[in-house]
Structure 1
Amino acid sequence: MGPTDSGTAVQGRLLARLALTFLLGALVALVAVAGRGGLLIVAVGVACLAAAAAGTWWVLSSHGALRVAGALIAVAAPVAVLVLYIRAGLWPAALLSVALIAAAALCARSALRVGREPQRMRAVAATAPRHPVLIMNPKSGGGKVGRFGLVAKAEALGAKVVLLDPSVRTDVGRMARLAVADGADLLGVAGGDGTQATVAAVAAEHDLPFLVISAGTRNHFAMDLGLDRDAPDRCLDALRDGEELRVDLGTVDGRPFVNTVSFGVYAQIVQSPEYRDAKAGSSLDALPDLLRGYSGHPLDARTATVRLEAQQALLISNNPYAAPHPAALAARRPRLDLGTLGVVGIHVANAAQAAQVALRGARASGLNVLTSPQVVVDADAEVIPVAVDGEALQLPTPVTCAIRPGALRVLVPRNRPGTPTAAPPLDWLELLLLALGRPRSAANGTDRADD
C-alpha cells in the first residue's frame, strides 16, 4: 500500500474535502438564506476586517493617542458589524456562515495535521544521581525558591543546595566547576535562563546530567523541555524518577545560550531598563520602531548558503520556533535536538510590508525564516547591542552564533506535562491539493528543520 493509500492519507483527504464543503456551504448560506443581503453581509464583513486590521496596525505601530484609538477601533468594528446585522435582520445568515467557516477551519487544521505528528525528543532511562548539586537564586521568578520550598524539598531528596546572594555579583560558572571538582554527578539550576545556560555549559563540558528547575520568570527553556512551569517543585521529581534528553546547546562568540540571541530592535527591547519589570509592555513600546523603520545599524546575517541584508531585527534561536512572529510572547520550539539554529530576520521597506509583518507573521514578505547550524551577524559598527537569553550585552562585530548538537544531557521527570503539538498554518492551497489526492511535499528547504 503506497503512502497515498494509507489510512492517515485517506483520513486527511476526507477532512480536507469536508473543510472545503463547509466553506462552500458558508457561501451558499449567504445567498440562499439572505438573498441579496448575503452580498451586504460579505461587504460589511470585509469592511469590519479592514477596520479591525487598521486598528491593530495602529496599536502595534504607534504610541499615545493613536494607539488608544487603534485599540478602540479594533474592538468597536466587530461590535458595530454585529449591531448592523441584528438591525437588518441578517444575523441568522451571518451566524450560520460564521459557524460553517469555523467548522471549515477546524477540519482544515485537522486535515493538515494528519500524518504530521512530529517525532518527540528521545528520552532514555537514567539512574538517580548520588551527589546532585543545585544552584538556586532566591529572587528569581519573584521568589519562587522560597514560595515552593525548593531548598527543603531538594535536600530531602539528597541534593546539596547552593543559594546565590542576589546582592553580590557571583561567577556562577566558577561555582559550578567547584561543585564538579567536589564530586557532583549532576548540576542543576533554579533561576533564569541566563543562569541556566551558564551552568548547562559546565555540565556539557564534563558530560554530566543537568537539571532544569522552572523557577525563573518566563522559563522558556523549561517550557520547551515539557516541564511544569507552574509547579517548579515537580522538576525535582527527576532526582528520584527521571529520564534523560539529549538536547543542543547554542553558542554566541563562545558564550552558551539555551534560548535565543537577539539583535537590532529585539536587543534594544532587552537593553531598556523597563524590560525586566514589564517585558510584554516593553516589547509593545518598541514595536513601532520595529514596524515603521529602524534607526540603528542595519544587520547582515550570512549562513553557508543564504545572506540576509539590512535586517532591522534578528532573532537566532537554539532550534527553530514552530510559529515565528515578531510580536509573539509565548512561542514554542517543538524540539531541541535538531542540531540547527532557527533564524528570523525582519526587513520592512514600507508601511505595507510592515503591516504584513504585524498581521501575517511568518507569511509576510518582510519576514525571513530559515535554519542553519551557524550564522554570522555583521553591521557597520565595531560593537552592537546583543541580548543573550535576556541578558543585555555589547559584542564586537562580526558575531558568530553556532550550535553544539546533543551537547547537553538534561534530566527531566518521567511524569511531566510535555510539549503540545503545534498547529500547522492554515494553507488553503495545500488543503485543496490534499483534497485532490496530491499533497504538496512538506519539505521546504532551509525554511524547515526536518529530520
Structure 2
Amino acid sequence: MMRSAALPRTRADSLLWTLSRAANKSQLWWFIGGALALRRGSARRAALRGVAAITGGSVTANLLGKPLFPRRRPAAELVPEHRRLIRQPTSSSFPSGHAASAAAFCTAVAMESPVTGLAIAPLAAAVAYSRVHTGVHWPSDVGAGALLGIAVGLGTRHWWPLHPDSPARTAHQAEAPVMRDGEDMLVLVNPGSGSADEDPSDEARFAWPKAILVYPETSRDIRGQLAEEIRSRGGAIRALGVAGGDGTVAAVASVAAEHGLPLALIPAGTLNHFARDVGVGSMAEADAATEAGSARGIDLGEVEIVGVDGTERRWFVNTASLGGYPEMVRLRETIQQHHPKWPAALIAMTRALRRARPLHVVLGGKPTRVWLVFVGNGTYSPKGFVATSRPALDTGLLDVRYLRADVPYSRARFILAVLTNTLHASHVYRQVDLPELTVRLLDGNRRVATDGEVGPLGNEFRFRSRPSALTIYRL
C-alpha cells in the first residue's frame, strides 16, 4: 500500500481512477458482456458465462465475504489527494468486490474463449490494482477478491459444463445431391433472427448465388409458405436451406423432413443450439458441405397435439415443453414489441414463474401434478437443470424431464437443489430417456412450445423420436 502511494504522479493516475469508477456495480463488465453477446459462437457463450460469474462473484464477495470479515478501509490520507475517489465506500474492505467481479468475469470468459479472456485479462488486472492505487483497499483485500473471483468463475462449470467443440455424433448415413452455387435450392432467410443489426441475406447469397431466396411472410406460417413454394415449382427443388435461429430452423427442418429433402443451414440466431450440435458453425462450413454433397441423417422429435380442432403434428429439432415455458414465450413475444429481446425474456420469465399453476396430467399412464415437462430431441448433457449439449443425434430417444408439484414446497426445494447441484437426488425432479411419451391434461387445454415457438392449444400431447428423419448437410 505504501509503495503504491509513493509512486510519482503520472497520466496513469487518471486512467486508474476512471477504471475504478467504471467498474462500480460491475458496469464495465456488463458493458463488455453486452458487446460480446452481439457476436456469434464462443464470444456469445463467453458473455453469458461471464455475466453468470459476475453475479456469483458479487453475491459471494458483498453479501457473504464482507459481513463475515469486517475490516476498516485504508485512511484516505495514505494516498495523494488527486487519486482519491469522490465518494469513499463505507462497506467492509475485505474482500474487494471489484477484484472479485473482474477476476470472475475474466476467468469465465477465458473458459469459453481463451483469446477473448487473454485480451480482457490486463483490463481486469488494472481494475483490481486501481482499488489499491485509489486508496480504498489493502493489497490483501484485492488478492483475496481475485482468488474468490477465479474460484467463482471456475465454479460455473459445476452448474453449466463447458460445451465440447466437436459436433454430436451420428451413425446414420445419408445421401444428398451436390449443390453447385445452390442451384435448385430453396432458401428461407429470416432477417428477424438474432441481432437486429445483422441480416443473413448477404451470407446466403454469397454461399448459394443461384438459390431461390424467400423471406417469412408475417401473415403466413413458414411451413405452409415453404410447402406452397415447393409445390409451385413442380419437383424442381432438390434441397432446402435456411439462414436463421433455432425457431426458424425447426420450421424449415419440418418441411424438409416431410418432403424428403436435405437441409443446409447458416446459423444466424441468438444462440444457434441446433447448428452447434450438428457441427455447422458458419456460412463457410455450410457452403463447403453443400458443394461437396456431404450429409448425415439425424433424429427429430415429433409431437402430435390433440385439441378441440383436431390433431396437429409438429417436429422439433431441440426441445419441446409444457407448463411455464410456453407462457414465458407468449409473454416475451408481447413484451418484445416495446422492449429489446433480452430484457423482454427476463421480464417474461419472472412473470411466468410468479403466475405458474400446476398441471394436472396423466404422465406415462399415471395421474400426477407437475410444474413443467421438458422433452429434448435426443439425450442431453448434463442431466441437471441446464441441458447444454447433445453427445449424439442418433439415439432414437427423447430426454424427458419434469418438475413435480405433488410434494410440499416443491418449487423451493427445486431452487435449492439447483443451487446446490443436487437435482439427481431431489424428490421433486425426474429425468428419464424414452422413445415416446404421452401427456394428457386433466384440467383443460394448454399450449406446447417447440424450439421456442408456441403451438396450438391441446389436451393430449404424444411425443416420439423419429430416427434419421432429417438429412442435413455437414462436413
TM-score normalised by length of structure 1: 0.60
CA distance in 2, matches of 1:194, 1:207: 20
| From 198, 206, 213, the counterpart of 1:161 | 213
**Match for residue 272 of structure 2 among 215, 219, 225:** 219
* Counterpart position of 1:373: 435
Letter in 1 for 2:252: V
Q: For 1:283 and 1:215, how far apart are their aligned partners in 2?
A: 19
Q: CA RMSD in A?
A: 4.4
Q: SS where residue 376 of structure 2 aligns? A: strand
- SS, match of residue 331 in structure 1: coil
Tell me the equivalent position of 1:128: 178
- Other structure's SS at 2:271 match: coil
Greater relative contact order: 1 or 2 (C-alpha under 8 angstroms, separation 6 or more)? 1
Matches within 5 A, 1:350-365: 350=409, 352-361=412-421, 362-363=423-424, 365=426
Q: 1:336, 1:152 → 2: CA distance?
A: 29
Give the 3-state SS of the residue equivalent to 1:240 in structure 2: helix
Whole-Å separation in 2 of the counterparts to 1:325 and 1:282: 26
Tell me the residue number matched to 2:457.
395
Distance in 1 of aligned mates of 2:345 and 2:59: 22
| Unmatched runs of 5 consecutive residues or more in structure 1 | 1-68, 415-451
Question: Is 1:318 equivalent to 2:377 in the alignment?
Answer: yes
Distance 1:290 1:139, change over 3 A: closer
**Which of 251, 254, 266 pairs up with 1:201?**
254
Matched, 1:270 2:332: no
Unaligned ranges ≥5, structure 2: 1-54, 70-92, 97-136, 305-312
* Aligned partner letter, 2:215: L
- Range with bigger deviation, 369-378 or 186-195: 186-195
SS, match of residue 149 in structure 1: helix
1:246 is displaced (CA, Å) by 1.1
Superposed counterparts of 1:104-253, under 5 Å: 120-122=169-171, 127-129=177-179, 131-142=184-195, 146=199, 149-156=202-209, 158-166=210-218, 171-175=224-228, 177-178=230-231, 181-228=234-281, 231-232=282-283, 234-253=285-304
Which of 169-178 and 218-227 deviates more?
Answer: 169-178
Q: 2:62 aligns with which of 48, 63, 76?
A: 76
CA distance in 1, matches of 2:257, 2:240: 10
Aligned AA (1:251): E
Match for 2:299: what amino acid? Answer: D
CA deviations 1:152-202 (Å, max 9, x no partner) are 31443x323233344666523423532673321111122343332233223
Q: Which one-letter code corresponds to 2:314 in the other structure?
A: R
Could you list the per-position Cα deviations for residues 244-263 of structure 1 after superposition, in whole angstroms to 9, with x for gaps in the alignment?
12111111112111111111
Normalising by the residue count of structure 2, what TM-score does the alignment of the two structures yield?
Answer: 0.57
1:100-145 residue CA offsets vs partner (Å, 9 max, x unmatched): 999x999x9xxxx9xxx99822475755135222122233334577
Provide closer, same or farther for how the CA distance between residues 287 and 208 of structure 1 changes in structure 2, counting only shifts above 3 A: closer
> Does structure 1 retain, via aligned residues, the 8 Å contact 2:335–2:348?
no
| Shift in CA distance, 242/77, structure 1 to aligned 2, threshold 3 Å | farther
Other-structure match for 2:396:
339
Verify the 8 A CA contact 1:123 1:244 in the aligned structure 2.
Answer: no
Distance 1:301 1:337, change over 3 A: farther
Return the letter of the residue paired with 2:364: T
Separation in structure 1 between the aligned mates of residue 383 and residue 328 of structure 2, nearest angstrom: 17
SS at match of 1:128: coil
Q: Which deviates the most, 366-375 or 194-203?
A: 194-203
Deviation for aligned residue 1:295? 4.2
Aligned partners of 1:341 and 1:372 also within 8 Å: yes
| C-alpha contact 1:297 1:381 (8 A) present in aligned 2 | no
Partner in structure 1 of residue 319 of structure 2? 260
**Structure 2 vs 1, CA of residues 74 and 133 (structure 1 numbering), >3 Å: closer, same or farther?**
same
CA distance in 2: counterparts of 1:143 and 1:93, whole angstroms: 41
* Counterparts in 2 of 1:132 and 1:179: CA distance versus 1, 3 Å: farther
SS at match of 1:393: strand
Q: Across the two proteins, how many residue pairs are aligned to each other?
A: 330
Question: Does the C-alpha gap of structure 1 residues 265 and 85 become closer, same or farther in structure 2, counting only changes over 3 Å?
Answer: closer
Are residues 280 and 139 of structure 1, via their aligned partners in 2, closer, same or farther at CA, if it must alter by over 3 Å?
A: closer
Distance apart, 1:280 and its partner CA: 4.8
Amino acid of the residue matched to residue 170 of structure 2?
M
3-state DSSP class of the match of 2:439?
Answer: strand
Preserved CA contact (<8 Å) 1:214 1:232: yes
Runs of 4+ in 1 over 6 A off after TM superposition: 69-72, 85-95, 97-102
- Percent of aligned pairs sharing the same letter: 27
Partner Cα distance (1:218, 1:100) in 2: 26
- What's the offset of the Cα at 1:281? 4.1
SS in 1 for 2:231: helix
How far apart, in 2, do the equivalents of 1:100 and 1:393 lie?
Answer: 43
Q: 1:184 is matched by which residue type in structure 2?
A: I
8 Å Cα contact 1:137-1:145 kept in structure 2 = no
